[in-house]
Amino acid sequence: MSKPVARTISRIARSASRASLALAGLMALAACATTSPTSTSIALGPRVDAPTGLQVFCVATPEACGEHSSRSQLEQTDGSISTPATGGGANAPDMTDIKIAAPAGVYSKSILASAAPATVEPDILAEARTVQPARNDAKRLEATPELFAQLARVNRVINGRIRWVPDEENYGLSEYWVMPLRENRAPVGDCEDFALEKRAMLLEAGLPQEALALATAHSNATGMHAVLIVRTSAGDFVLDNTSPWVRGWDQTGYTWLTMQASADVLDWRRIS
């Protein structure tokens, strides 16, 4: 066999090998796209108070907390918000003097009045509705590729629309829960604000309140952290402002602390 012919055959063989590898990669991606990830379910322990900032948020914005939200733990005879005995963290602001009538005016030291307001464009909401939610079995959604595609879109959209700024820098407070996009604030916020916006977007897309849960965790990278958990038949998954991926709660490396336990946004339990 002549050298030119041998070189030609060698090139054809290499091309065929690369094509085979590319095809194998495409087949692997296709397999991933048609299967759903797996996780485990979070085990809950004793009841604890909801985070202090969330309690204030529900008083100031009751419509965002839903019809199932319990107000009993928030109200005292003098009309003030009770200071939680547990939850909220050691650095939670003292709520004793906060009045239900005007929590925002008392609680906020700075509202960034000079910043341009942000709104949620209709196309963002339309994007979240492009995939209809799967049937909910009690408190868990059926784990399907379509569901996880929807969760990934919402996670990506909200992470891209809000710039992370800590509450200390933004408001001069250690904890302040808001929905900056829906409250026409500047598009900046802390981890809990991302979680609230994702919850609202998924509710607008038709997912049930029973399948969505706010949760707190800790890691060396994030410090005290808040995320949104989605309960599925394949386990509990995290929508996190620190990651573009929808991950199983047991795949994050976080030390988990507390979590919303039911459709009531103020019904919290310690994570076992």
The pLDDT tens digits of the residues spanning 48-107 come to: 999 999 999 999 999 999 766 665 445 533 334 433 333 333 333 343 433 322 223 222
Residue 51 lies in a domain: yes
Nearest CA to 54 out of 97, 102, 103 is that of 103
Q: Is the pLDDT of residue 4 over 50?
A: yes
Q: Which residues contact 29 (CB under 8 A, 6 or more apart)?
A: none
The answer to whether residues 182 and 61 touch, using CB atoms and an 8 Å cutoff, is no
Residue 23 lies in a domain: no
Instruction: Return the structure tokens found at 177.
Output: 């829960």
Q: d(Cα 239, Cα 242) in Å, to the nearest integer?
A: 9
Residue 51 sits in a domain whose CATH number is: 3.10.620
Beta bridge partners of 44: 271
Tell me the percentage of the chain whose pLDDT exceeds 70: 60
Count of domains observed in the chain: 1
Residue 10 lies in a domain: no
Residue-level pLDDT at 77:
31
Instruction: Give 210-241 as a DSSP string.
Output: GGEEEEEEEETTTEEEEEEEEEETTEEEEE-T
Tell me the percentage of the chain whose pLDDT exceeds 90: 53
The parent domain of residue 81 ranges over 47-109+120-271
Instruction: Return the structure tokens found at 216.
Output: 């707190």
Q: Is the pLDDT of residue 15 over 90?
A: no
Residue-level pLDDT at 56:
93
Instruction: Give 101-122 as a DSSP string.
Output: TSHHHHH-S---TTSPP----H
Higher-confidence position of 267 and 128: 267
> What is the chain's mean pLDDT, rounded?
74
Residue 137 lies in a domain: yes
Mean pLDDT of 156-185: 92
Range of lowest pLDDT (44-48, 123-127, 149-153):
123-127
The answer to whether residues 259 and 213 touch, using CB atoms and an 8 Å cutoff, is yes
DSSP state of 249: G
Residue-level pLDDT at 39:
84
Mean pLDDT of 141-170: 95
Range of lowest pLDDT (6-15, 223-232, 257-266):
6-15
Instruction: Give 133-185 as a DSSP string.
Output: PPPEETTEE---HHHHHHHHHHHHHHHHH-EE--HHHHHSSS-----TTTTT-
Instruction: Return the structure tokens found at 15.
Output: 């091309």
Mean pLDDT of 153-172: 94
Higher-confidence position of 112 and 254: 254
Residue-level pLDDT at 33:
45
Residue-level pLDDT at 145:
95
Residue-level pLDDT at 29:
43
The pLDDT tens digits of the residues spanning 190-237 come to: 999 999 999 999 999 999 999 999 999 999 999 999 999 999 999 999
The answer to whether residues 122 and 105 touch, using CB atoms and an 8 Å cutoff, is no
Residue 29 lies in a domain: no
Residue 40 lies in a domain: no
Residue 8 lies in a domain: no
Residue 39 lies in a domain: no
Residue-level pLDDT at 32:
45
DSSP state of 91: T
